[in-house]
Amino acid sequence: MDAKRIGIYSGSFNPIHIGHLALANYLCEFEGLDEVWFLVTPHNPLKAQEGLMEDNLRLQLVKAAVEEYPRFRASDFEFHLPKPSYTIHTLEALKQKYPDKAFTLIVGADNWVCFDRWFEAKRIVDEFSLMIYPRPGYAVERESLPPHVRLVDAPNIEVSSTFIRQAMAEGRDVRYFLHPAVYRLLSNRCESKA
């Protein structure tokens, strides 16, 4: 039996929004992934991350967003790794803990164009599969990609977590940019602070 193909979608998800979810949904339904694991990245104590919500709140929002879709999983895996957490270390730890699964790293074209600057970038490309999703303004030449790296034709939904946070701080109703459960949790949080 073939190993389950797991997409690793790592990010701050500050907060998770429909762009994240639609991309992951596309990768499961159209690009052959069995599951997508949303790895919430912890706050790096060495970096000032203004506007970054508390780690467990971001994890709670991801859990709320993905709980009804059986092919998604919220994960705090990186919370338990030594800091700073480099992608290669995360992927190696995942491979060690789940030897029966085949992991594919999901990155945006904006990250791919500077991927050579990532820690141990060559090892990541040599040892793991990657899926690159398009981002406006970042061209990726399909024919120049290494063997385990694939550019996918995912729809581009231009929503950013920064936009969501700013809009909510201004009291705007952005419910259709968020999963309903995420919107409810964030709205309740804003109301309790008021």
Encode pLDDT of 103-154 as tens digits.
999 999 999 999 999 999 999 999 999 999 999 999 999 999 999 999 999 9
Tokens of 134: 């398009």
d(CA 44, CA 17): 22
Q: How far apart are CA 120 and CA 86, in angstroms?
A: 9
**pLDDT value of residue 1:** 64
Q: By C-alpha distance, which of 155, 158, 164 is closest to 182?
A: 164
Q: What confidence tier does 3 reach under pLDDT thresholds 50, 70, 90?
A: confident
> CA angle, 43 as apex, 40 and 47 as ends, to 5°?
140
Token duo for residue 47: 């970096």
Residue 9 CA to residue 135 CA, distance in Å, equals: 15
93/190: higher pLDDT: 93
Give SS3 for 67. coil
Q: How far apart are CA 48 and CA 57, in angstroms?
A: 18
What are the domain boundaries of the chain? Answer: 4-160
> Given a cut of 90, is residue 85 above it in pLDDT?
no
Instruction: Write down the mean pLDDT value for the chain.
Output: 92
Q: Is the pLDDT of residue 48 over 90?
A: no
> What's the pTM value of the predicted model, to 2 decimals?
0.93
Rounded average pLDDT over 85-102: 95
Q: What pLDDT, on the 0 to 100 scale, is given for residue 133?
A: 97
Q: CATH homologous superfamily for 4-160?
A: HUPs (3.40.50.620)
Rounded (10°) angle between helices 180-193 and 55-66:
140
Cβ(178)–Cβ(164) below 8 Å: yes
